[in-house]
Amino acid sequence: MPKARSSYDYIVVGAGSAGAIVATRLSESGRKSVLLVEAGQSNSSVFTRMPAALAYPLSDERLLWSYETGPEPHLGDRRISHVRGKVLGGSSTINGMVFVRGNAKDYNGWAADGLTQWSYDRCLPFFKKMEDFDRGPSYLRGSGGPVRITTCKAEGAIFEAFLEAGQQYGLELNADYNANTQEGVHVYQANIDRGVRASTSHAYLKKAIYRSNLAVLQNATASRVNFDGKRAVSVSVQFAGEERQYYAHEEVIISCGTYESPQLLMRSGIGNRGELGKLGISCVTDVPGVGQNLHDHPCVPVGYRAAMQGVSKVAHLNKFKMAAIGAEWLLFKTGLGATNFWEVGTFFKSSDDAEYCDIQHEFIPMIGDFTHGSHDLHDGFLYQTCLMRPRSRGSVTLVSRDPKAKAKIVHNYLQNPRDLVDLTNGVRRTLEMVKQKAWDAIRGESDGPNLDAMTEHELSSWVQGNVSTQYHPCGTCRMGYDDLSVVDETGRVNGVEALRVVDASIMPRVTSGNINAPTMMIAEKISASMTM
């Protein structure tokens, strides 16, 4: 990795799920120089590489952007905690590794709204390009790409019961939810490379970082993008206690994520002219949609204690068992350490009126908090019930020119009454799946109130009081061609030149399922358009 100099062909801000890919692809030919600016740093510890250790990065503040949204006006003014990855690979270094492309109808919906280059048929080649699917290539799946996609093993009675119960309820067993159809119960696929987390740092940057034409500046915070008239020409970066300026001959690409990308745009003078003026920021171009259209997948947990001990493999682990798991992983990259735990799931409709499946189950084969390094885990299971196509919209609002100041983030979860109806219906159908015969030998008492006994009004109130996040924020720099769009189909920022945004913030509407794979696809697709 070469030492950073003062000017490059391209500057990419943010080395996360998208930025790591953009920097890798732009530097691939060797003809263009690229500077990749990252606020975090590299981390190749056992905790970021071992899939089963995913709880530990979530308790390491050195690796996190920690946010608190709200007060959320439709959740009783509750605040919701969010985390994003502040590390090479971004959130792909701290997430659950579940690989979901989304539904083909999601992308065709984007195309129907005028983004014709984003139909599913035009996105498919870039999903295939990045994949190395463990079941081999087909006309729908890729092989030989940088991201290894591993089919989870889903072994054990608790996973078998989940899959059987879904079929008893009336759903199909879907052999590949990333292929022709999404609906049904399934074994998940994960971006795990032969037992190791396949973050974008692992899959892309690990080799690219040694290129002579790619420089990676870590522990560096971008303050603003600077312009000559309407053309982006440089980025001001806080690094090593001082502010430095790096020049871009061709383009600046912002890949800071859904919360940070709009803030960088606004600090740079791109946003609502009136709001920028209140903060003393000179407006380069009036783009009122910056920071708007924020949305996420809201979810609620439906959990049950087990009627017997031993069905949850990670419950009751002592230090000796944990050491044995770690030793097997270190030596062979196999065993419990090589799993991400989310090994089975469901996509289904909240009601018969839904156009296509709008509820996702992320199934957890245990009860207890394991997301912050906790070991207080018990035998049981939890259906994380998530709304895939929320109608509610929130915003990211800049409160200061200081890049260290936290923005005001309000998601407005359940602002649209239909979201509460759909999510409540999804919970009711989840309860029906739990009642199926396949669970009889395992299912114990509800881990919480008896949801089955609740009236519709009571269940709706419970949902509203327990909604949290699936950690899939998007949309704050959305693609489009109307007055509130921020970028065009290739990520170019409206009203200026030589500036793009490439990350989940440009999604006009969230995709159905985990958004890491779609974010990587977006990066592959736009990078290809830049290097043609």
**Residue carrying the six token digits 């682990």:** 317
Determine the Cα–Cα distance for residues 3 and 240; give it in Å rounded to an integer.
14
* Residue ranges of domains in the chain: 153-187+298-387+415-466
At residue 75, the pLDDT reads 97
At residue 37, the pLDDT reads 98
Which residues have CB under 8 Å from 353's CB, separation 6+? none
Go through 491-516 and write b for each residue having 16 or more CB atoms within 10 A of its CB, e for each that does not. Answer: bbbbebebbbbbbbbbbbbbbbbbbb
Determine the Cα–Cα distance for residues 57 and 361; give it in Å rounded to an integer.
23
Rg (CA), the chain: 23
Determine the Cα–Cα distance for residues 158 and 153; give it in Å rounded to an integer.
12
Kind of pairing between the strands at 270-271 and 285-286: parallel
At residue 425, the pLDDT reads 98
First and final C-alpha spacing in the chain = 25
The alpha-helical segments, DSSP class H, found in 287-416 are 319-332
111, amino acid identity: A
Q: Is 138 helix (H, G, I), strand (E, B) or coil?
A: coil
- What's 153-187+298-387+415-466's CATH class? alpha beta
User: Which candidate, 190, 180, 152, 183, places its Cα nearest to that of 167?
Assistant: 183
At residue 3, the pLDDT reads 65
Determine the Cα–Cα distance for residues 45 and 65; give it in Å rounded to an integer.
18
- At 300, give phi and psi (nearest 5°): -135, 150
Give the number of other Cβ atoms within 10 Å of residue 112's Cβ.
11
Sign (positive/negative) of CA torsion 490, 25, 22, 18? positive
- At 261, give phi and psi (nearest 5°): -60, -45
Go through 188-215 and write b for each residue having 16 or more CB atoms within 10 A of its CB, e for each that does not. Answer: bbbbbbebbbbbbbbbbbbebbebebbb
* DSSP characters over 471-494: S--B-TT-B-SSTT--B-TT-BBT
Q: Tell me the Ramachandran region of residue 351: left when phi exceeds 0, alpha when psi lies from -120 to 50, beta otherwise.
A: beta
At residue 1, the pLDDT reads 60
Determine the Cα–Cα distance for residues 527 and 532; give it in Å rounded to an integer.
9
Assigned token pair, 113: 């709204």
Kind of pairing between the strands at 380-387 and 359-364: antiparallel
At residue 362, the pLDDT reads 97
Residues 526, 21: contact at Cβ < 8 Å? no
Determine the Cα–Cα distance for residues 51 and 336; give it in Å rounded to an integer.
9
Determine the Cα–Cα distance for residues 522 and 491; give it in Å rounded to an integer.
9
- At 348, give phi and psi (nearest 5°): -155, 170
Q: What is the pLDDT along the chain (532 residues), one digit of tens a residue?
A: 666 689 999 999 999 999 999 999 999 999 999 999 999 999 989 999 999 988 888 888 899 999 999 999 999 999 999 999 999 999 999 999 999 999 999 999 999 999 999 999 999 999 999 999 999 999 999 999 999 999 999 999 999 999 999 999 999 999 999 999 999 999 999 999 999 999 999 999 999 999 999 999 999 999 999 999 999 999 999 999 999 999 999 999 999 999 999 999 999 999 999 999 999 999 999 999 999 999 999 999 999 999 988 888 877 777 778 888 889 989 999 998 899 999 999 999 999 999 999 999 999 999 976 555 455 688 999 999 999 999 999 999 999 999 999 999 999 999 999 999 999 999 999 999 999 999 999 999 999 999 999 999 999 999 999 999 999 999 999 999 999 999 999 999 999 999 999 999 999 999 999 999 999 999 999 999 999 8
Burial of residue 158, with CB atoms counted within 10 A of its CB: 0-12 exposed, 13-18 middle, 19 or more buried: buried
Catalytic residues: 472
Kind of pairing between the strands at 34-37 and 214-217: parallel
Residues 169, 183: contact at Cβ < 8 Å? no
CA angle, corner 264, sides to 261 and 269, nearest 5? Answer: 130
Cis peptide before 449 (omega within 30 of 0): no
At residue 461, the pLDDT reads 98
- Helix 157-169 and helix 417-434: axis angle, to 10°? 110
**Residue carrying the six token digits 């881990």:** 447
Determine the Cα–Cα distance for residues 479 and 487; give it in Å rounded to an integer.
5
Q: Is 512 helix (H, G, I), strand (E, B) or coil?
A: coil
- Helix 516-531 and helix 120-130: axis angle, to 10°? 100
Give the number of other Cβ atoms within 10 Å of residue 279's Cβ.
14
CA angle, corner 495, sides to 493 and 499, nearest 5? Answer: 35
For 286, 304, 314, 320, 370, the CA distances from 374, given in Å and listed in that order, are 46, 19, 12, 17, 5
Assigned token pair, 86: 């502040």
